[in-house]
Structure 1
Amino acid sequence: MPPSTTTLRLILGDQLNPLHSWFGEVRAEVVYILMEVRQETDYVRHHAQKIIAIFAAMRALARRLEHDGHRVHYLRIDDPANLQAIPANIDALLAHYGATGFQYQEPDEYRLDRQLAAYAAQLALPGSMAGSEHFLTTRDEAERIFAGRPQWLMEYFYRQMRLVHGVLVEPGGKPAGGQWNFDHDNRKPWRGTPPEPFDTRAQHDHAALWAGIEAAGVASFGRPDAARIVWPQDRAEALTHLDAFIEHGLPHFGHYQDAMHTTATRLFHSMLSFALNTKMLHPREVIAEAEDAWRAGHAPLHAVEGFIRQILGWREYVRGVYWASMPGYEQHNVFGHDTPLPSWFWDGKTKMRCLRHAIGQSLDDAHAHHIQRLMIIGNFSLLAGLDPHALHQWYLGVYVDAFEWVEMPNTIGMSQFADGGLLATKPYVSSAAYIDRMSDYCKGCHYDKKARLGETACPFNALYWDFFERNADRLSGNQRLGMVYRNLFNMDQDARAACAGQAASVRLRLEQL
């Protein structure tokens, strides 16, 4: 006999945690609903591999739940019954099951949080929200930590998190190794030694899934390559990836976390952000494995601390910034930049070798590591005056691990400084010298890394000095930029004017660079 009451529980595409307490017991009156909808594929244009990877992981979780005895209703993107919007599909399923209740997990994106809260509020039956059981902080925890303080600083937040969660601390609350931050040890370029570890991630052929996505009319960009998706489909694969990183990548991660190289797209990075951001992995277990590796003598402290800082510090911090700043954070544009993205953001066809590689890799793999995103693509975008909102939409669409709560602050605040310093303490920009020091991108490039002026001068050089010249009123008082402005003001007026003219010329011919 069917149950007299039925509750529908919605699982979103970034809530793929099979260990959630919802699944602790099989309940005949509960139906779990997962849906692939145009609402989510179309709000920005997404990379094909991102869509494939998320849908494949959603389908894998549905199979596991069914195997464990749970009732599951799964709507595929090309299902004729799919109304392609979350509220419309829920309405239809509530009627289909004669449901007496509706529940959902706390969404991580503001637009979905507002949509589902409004939807639940207008229902004639009970609707409620459960926690996602994922993050180490609440949405408003960072805001409470900084209440009454003149400025938010990630380093202060990070140290508080280390103490609260007992991570890399010794008795008495002292930091392991006698210092909180080993960033100065983590800035080495990679010249081929030690060798990049072999990529042990399994490839999956999702040709049939991709065919269904295309049949539904979903627009995308990037290389689909549905036969070589390497992102984990489920928690078991994600755990295998985590173990492989701890064994082969973490020992060298620290020194080379900022390095870039044309022959090594991964280097020693974990590639765990997709599994973390879809909640296949919990940050606590990732942090614990890294700390255990140090305590067992397998990985040096500077590498482990740098890796943990990205998760316990930065990841939780930017989420706090996001929720404290929404709605409207995406509209920040303190410099008034409004230049459209050049067409080569969509095909990678530029003569600048660094951007050709970083954007080309992004289009090929739906992934680039944080320094490629920040100091190549983001660096150029800020110096050239590209529209930060358009760039935010590109980042959100192109990267497999990009969800708005983590991507938006990283783009608007960290990469583009468009919030005027709410997130970052200074703009993260450089000339060609930094790119050459940390990569092999400048070798064989069409442009001269040392030249500021002329048709073959590296565009980064004049753009760099002109950016600080144009924004001196806003930035020259920033203590972290004191050296930059001393060097700028020591240039003679002719040199400064020449840089300004060169930069203006570069901005006029972005499409031809």
Structure 2
Amino acid sequence: MTTLFKNASPTLLPQTTTLRLILGDQLNASHSWFKQVSPNTVYLIAELGQEATYTTHHVQKVCAFFSAMAEFANALANCGHQVIYLTLDETQHYSDLPALLEHIITSKQLTAFEYQQPDEYRLAQQLAELAWPNVTKNKYDSEHFLLPFDDIKAQFAANKHVKMEFFYRRMRKRFNVLMKDDEPLGGQWNFDSQNREHFKQQDLADIPSPLLFANDVSAILARLKRHNINTIGKAQSQLLWPVNRRQSRQLLDYFCQHLLIRFGRFQDAMTENSRADWSLYHSRLSFAINAKMISPSEVINKVIQYWQANQQEISLTQVEGFVRQILGWREYVRGIYWGNMPKYATKNALQAQRPLPNYFWTANTKMNCMHQAIKQSLDYAYAHHIQRLMVTGCFSLLAGLHPDEVDQWYLGIYIDAIEWVEMPNTRGMTQFADGGIVATKPYAASGNYLNKMSDYCKSCHYNVKLKTEDNACPFNSLYWHFIQRHQQHFNRNPRMTMVYKNWQKMDEHTQQAIINKANNLLENIESL
């Protein structure tokens, strides 16, 4: 029997005893829950005000999750499962998720509640605290990540730095990925040093156009407006992101066939001079993976299989760079998150206090790198990892922006941002607010890095080669201001020795001019 309910009072089958909750990022069709159809079980998928408003999300992010949830509910119902699918129209009268669960369980006299381990701490706590008389409660693994949840504590002790490279090697060995006779293919673990090329003019014309979808989300946009859900970013009635497993697999296939060939080589590059400048050679699979429409294992296996069949065209360098992002970094930041929460969310090691400038919400800044990265984020709910780390992230670090505000911006603006993956990247990697749990040194850089890895500087209002003049690149003096004001924190860091030697080589007059310039920029940060 196929039943898709769209109201808060469904007529359940007489045998129904168990309610199973599926959160918006738990759309895993391969989960063992769904192997058998049971008349005893009903699944709940619901649009919730609490999830749409716990931060101010990009409108495309909300539309993507809500659309994917509806697609998944339909898929389950078509397979014969009982499903309660509720939109904001039906859940508006419930203050939060516990209130909705209370209503369904008590009104339908259900005797069991089951849920999958949430990926966010706040939801894990919320669900852990629930209890009803005569109702059993069971928690299951999400069956998505490679590293089992119960293994996290053994690998990630609280407040301890875990070197990502060593974790990545352990994962390669454990899951036999790109290995032969217990040794890494190609004779080395990491080809990152070969993956730092910038685009030359002749490279730009070769970048393929991105694969885009056209999912109608006009009804969702109407609901968001009807229920006064505050969002940011550019709305699209035809959403370009994948919202079901079929589209997710199409995007994976497209990456393998058209983008993998140069992914590693240009994975750090940035440009504003390409028809595909916002997507480049990146897979853009992060939303599909984080919503669990497609698994990391499936993605890794597909990419490796495609490379093995096309080794004359695709090098190991490209494949290893991609696998490292999924098997290494993605699993690593999840471990950092769960190994350190909830205290991780309050860390501010550098005591950064400045509020976010207004142009983070408008892209109206004369700094072209910031304008390009923010505008792209507002337009597409997407920026690739170097734009996040070395443009908006680096600026936030140099300017001393409060990590709470930086966290909320990253969490809201990006379609793939869920707290477990966002927070270690932001508070840890970009802001060094965790004091070195993630990074062994701050990812601070002057304009020279941006000029090396992008063409942003060529059309910028500011001159990347100047430090103290009126039209000098703000990143330059802000970089040295950051180095100087945190000297006690970093001057004994062996990875920072050369930086402080270079600072000390400058004469006192030059140092003071740089500091004065940076102070003036910070005092007038809204006008940059």
TM-score range, shorter chain: over 0.9
Q: Which residue of 2 aligns with 1:27?
A: 38
Q: Which residue of 2 aligns with 1:204?
A: 215
Do the aligned residues in 2 keep the contact of 1:78 with 1:213 (CA within 8 Å)?
Answer: no
Do the aligned residues in 1 keep the contact of 2:16 with 2:39 (CA within 8 Å)?
Answer: no
Do the aligned residues in 1 keep the contact of 2:160 with 2:437 (CA within 8 Å)?
Answer: no
Q: Which residue of 2 aligns with 1:285?
A: 298
- Is residue 440 of structure 2 the alignment partner of residue 429 of structure 1? no
User: Aligned equivalents of 2:158 and 2:109: distance in 1?
Assistant: 50
Q: Which residue of 2 aligns with 1:179?
A: 188
Counterparts in 2 of 1:452 and 1:369: CA distance versus 1, 3 Å: same
Aligned pairs for 1:295-334 (under 5 A) are: 295-296=308-309, 297=311, 298-334=313-349
Q: 1:2 aligns with which of 8, 13, 22?
A: 13
Deviates more, 1:212-221 or 1:176-185: 212-221
SS of structure 2 residue aligned to 1:290: helix
Amino acid at match of 2:296: P
Do the aligned residues in 2 keep the contact of 1:37 with 1:84 (CA within 8 Å)?
Answer: no
Counterparts in 2 of 1:401 and 1:81: CA distance versus 1, 3 Å: closer
SS of structure 2 residue aligned to 1:190: coil
Alpha-carbon shift at residue 489 of structure 1 (Å): 1.3
Q: Which residue of 1 aligns with 2:8?
A: none
Do the aligned residues in 1 keep the contact of 2:19 with 2:42 (CA within 8 Å)?
Answer: yes
SS of structure 2 residue aligned to 1:488: helix
For residues 281-301 of structure 1, what are the alpha-carbon distances to aligned partners after superposition, in whole Å with 9 as ceiling and x for unaligned? 111111111222332215211
- Is residue 415 of structure 2 the alignment partner of residue 400 of structure 1? yes
Q: Which residue of 1 aligns with 2:282?
A: 269
User: Aligned equivalents of 2:469 and 2:520: distance in 1?
Assistant: 10
Q: 1:236 aligns with which of 226, 246, 260?
A: 246
Q: Which residue of 1 aligns with 2:198?
A: 189
Q: Which residue of 2 aligns with 1:359?
A: 374
For residues 177-226 of structure 1, what are the alpha-carbon distances to aligned partners after superposition, in whole Å with 9 as ceiling and x for unaligned? 00000000000001241611122221222111110111011111111122
User: Aligned equivalents of 1:124 and 1:185: distance in 2?
Assistant: 60
User: Aligned equivalents of 1:19 and 1:239: distance in 2?
Assistant: 14
| Paired residue total | 510
SS of structure 2 residue aligned to 1:103: strand
Q: 1:219 aligns with which of 230, 234, 239?
A: 230
Amino acid at match of 1:178: G
Q: Which residue of 2 aligns with 1:155?
A: 165
User: Aligned equivalents of 2:265 and 2:498: distance in 1?
Assistant: 25
User: Aligned equivalents of 2:160 and 2:229: distance in 1?
Assistant: 46
Identity %: 47
Amino acid at match of 1:175: P
Q: Which residue of 2 aligns with 1:418?
A: 433
Q: 2:365 aligns with which of 350, 353, 356?
A: 350
Alpha-carbon shift at residue 92 of structure 1 (Å): 1.1
User: Aligned equivalents of 1:104 and 1:166: distance in 2?
Assistant: 31
- Is residue 72 of structure 2 the alignment partner of residue 61 of structure 1? yes
User: Aligned equivalents of 2:461 and 2:307: distance in 1?
Assistant: 43
Do the aligned residues in 2 keep the contact of 1:142 with 1:317 (CA within 8 Å)?
Answer: no
Q: Which residue of 2 aligns with 1:451?
A: 466
Q: Which residue of 1 aligns with 2:3?
A: none
Do the aligned residues in 2 keep the contact of 1:52 with 1:226 (CA within 8 Å)?
Answer: no
Q: Which residue of 2 aligns with 1:136?
A: 146
SS of structure 2 residue aligned to 1:79: helix
Do the aligned residues in 2 keep the contact of 1:348 with 1:359 (CA within 8 Å)?
Answer: yes
Q: 1:504 aligns with which of 512, 519, 523?
A: 519
Counterparts in 2 of 1:149 and 1:202: CA distance versus 1, 3 Å: closer
Do the aligned residues in 1 keep the contact of 2:304 with 2:319 (CA within 8 Å)?
Answer: yes
User: Aligned equivalents of 2:524 and 2:290: distance in 1?
Assistant: 38
Q: Which residue of 2 aligns with 1:113?
A: 124
User: Aligned equivalents of 2:303 and 2:43: distance in 1?
Assistant: 34
Counterparts in 2 of 1:20 and 1:400: CA distance versus 1, 3 Å: same
Alpha-carbon shift at residue 34 of structure 1 (Å): 0.7
User: Aligned equivalents of 2:226 and 2:354: distance in 1?
Assistant: 34
Alpha-carbon shift at residue 151 of structure 1 (Å): 3.9
Alpha-carbon shift at residue 78 of structure 1 (Å): 2.0
User: Aligned equivalents of 2:124 and 2:505: distance in 1?
Assistant: 51
Counterparts in 2 of 1:453 and 1:407: CA distance versus 1, 3 Å: same
Q: Which residue of 2 aligns with 1:104?
A: 115
Q: Which residue of 2 aligns with 1:124?
A: 134
Q: Which residue of 2 aligns with 1:390?
A: 405
Do the aligned residues in 1 keep the contact of 2:15 with 2:39 (CA within 8 Å)?
Answer: no
Amino acid at match of 2:476: N
For residues 307-353 of structure 1, what are the alpha-carbon distances to aligned partners after superposition, in whole Å with 9 as ceiling and x for unaligned? 00011011001100101110121211111111000011111100100
Q: Which residue of 1 aligns with 2:102?
A: 91
Amino acid at match of 1:182: F
Aligned pairs for 1:472-491 (under 5 A) are: 472-491=487-506
Q: 2:56 aligns with which of 45, 59, 62?
A: 45
Q: Which residue of 1 aligns with 2:264?
A: 254
SS of structure 2 residue aligned to 1:167: coil
User: Aligned equivalents of 1:30 and 1:496: distance in 2?
Assistant: 69
SS of structure 2 residue aligned to 1:442: helix
User: Aligned equivalents of 2:517 and 2:52: distance in 1?
Assistant: 40
Alpha-carbon shift at residue 122 of structure 1 (Å): 4.7
Do the aligned residues in 2 keep the contact of 1:140 with 1:324 (CA within 8 Å)?
Answer: no
Structure 2: 5+ residue stretches without partners: 1-11
Do the aligned residues in 1 keep the contact of 2:480 with 2:514 (CA within 8 Å)?
Answer: yes
Q: Which residue of 2 aligns with 1:461?
A: 476
Counterparts in 2 of 1:68 and 1:149: CA distance versus 1, 3 Å: closer
User: Aligned equivalents of 2:384 and 2:133: distance in 1?
Assistant: 43
Do the aligned residues in 2 keep the contact of 1:140 with 1:320 (CA within 8 Å)?
Answer: no
User: Aligned equivalents of 1:435 and 1:157: distance in 2?
Assistant: 29
Alpha-carbon shift at residue 146 of structure 1 (Å): 5.6
User: Aligned equivalents of 1:159 and 1:294: distance in 2?
Assistant: 20
Do the aligned residues in 1 keep the contact of 2:45 with 2:86 (CA within 8 Å)?
Answer: yes
User: Aligned equivalents of 1:310 and 1:160: distance in 2?
Assistant: 15
User: Aligned equivalents of 2:426 and 2:280: distance in 1?
Assistant: 23
User: Aligned equivalents of 1:150 and 1:214: distance in 2?
Assistant: 45
Counterparts in 2 of 1:73 and 1:394: CA distance versus 1, 3 Å: same
For residues 352-392 of structure 1, what are the alpha-carbon distances to aligned partners after superposition, in whole Å with 9 as ceiling and x for unaligned? 00000100100111010000000000000000111111000
Alpha-carbon shift at residue 150 of structure 1 (Å): 7.0
Over aligned residues, Cα RMSD in angstroms? 1.6
Do the aligned residues in 1 keep the contact of 2:268 with 2:453 (CA within 8 Å)?
Answer: yes
Q: Which residue of 1 aligns with 2:7?
A: none
